[in-house]
Amino acid sequence: MTSLVLGCGLSPIDHRIKLGEEPFVVFVGEGNDHNTDLFTTTTSGGHVYQLTFTRVIEAAPALANGGTMVAFLRMRDTMPSTRRDLVIMNLENGAEKTVPLPASAGPARSMGWSAGDSVVYVRTDRGLWQANVPASGTAASTVPASDTLVASQATAAWLGQPPFAEAIPCPTGICLIGPRHDTTALSATGHDPMRWGRDSVAWFEGSEIVVRSLGAGRARRVVLKDAPANPRAGSLGGTGN
């Protein structure tokens, strides 16, 4: 059954980020309590704010394009057999909807949103799954064949509009796979690539996020002040893209 956990009516990032007005990023890290939670900051960097405070593990966040919701995975541990639930958090009031993933789905790895923020896609070891927003009251279902391409692109770091290249982890760090399946090394020390707007790719290096345009120009660094340990698995939202 889908469960609803009501927040206290306050945004978890109230007075910190202007929802719907400025882009920001949500990512995973280990806080001072050593628990794995979600954290957030603006695209210009600076102070990092903790978004979740639980004793379980939050992972694979995906910010909605409009920036008012975030979907993520919640689990007891990282063992392959451990159940992973899809959680959709309303960032305006802190309310959560939890959508169970069927055991047949296998371990979930990444997530993404449809263009209109009406569907959350989940990539697992056994295929692609989806949940409607608002949640329908049932477990996630398999993605219809007609939507497989859209779901595949939403749950990976595909770049460009329309998408034409994919940023992936590779033996040399971060690589870009081009439209002719050509491979370009982007970083030897980066990890966890993500889309950064329409024309850029970003990844983590230490306590910084490196942003590089697909066109000409030099990469820039977003410094995370008071960053949690091991920042990773980020998602950009609030851009309207």
- What's the pLDDT score for residue 132? 92
Q: Are 95 and 105 in contact (CB under 8 A)?
A: no
CA distance 105 to 13: 32
The model's pTM: 0.91
Instruction: Give the contacts of 151 (CB within 8 A, at least 6 positions apart).
Output: 112, 121, 123, 128, 130, 143
Spell out the domain ranges in the chain. Answer: 3-155+228-237, 165-225
What averages of pLDDT result for each successive group of 10 residues across the chain (241 residues)? 45 79 92 93 92 94 93 90 89 90 89 94 95 83 96 94 91 91 93 92 95 86 94 86 55
Q: Which helix (H) or strand (E) holds 150?
A: helix 148-154
Q: What is the pLDDT of residue 73?
A: 95
3-class SS at 103?
helix
With 0-12 CB in 10 A as exposed, 13-18 as middle and 19+ as buried, what is 105?
Answer: buried
CA distance 122 to 205: 26
Q: Which amino acid is at 5?
A: V
What is the three-class DSSP state of 154?
helix
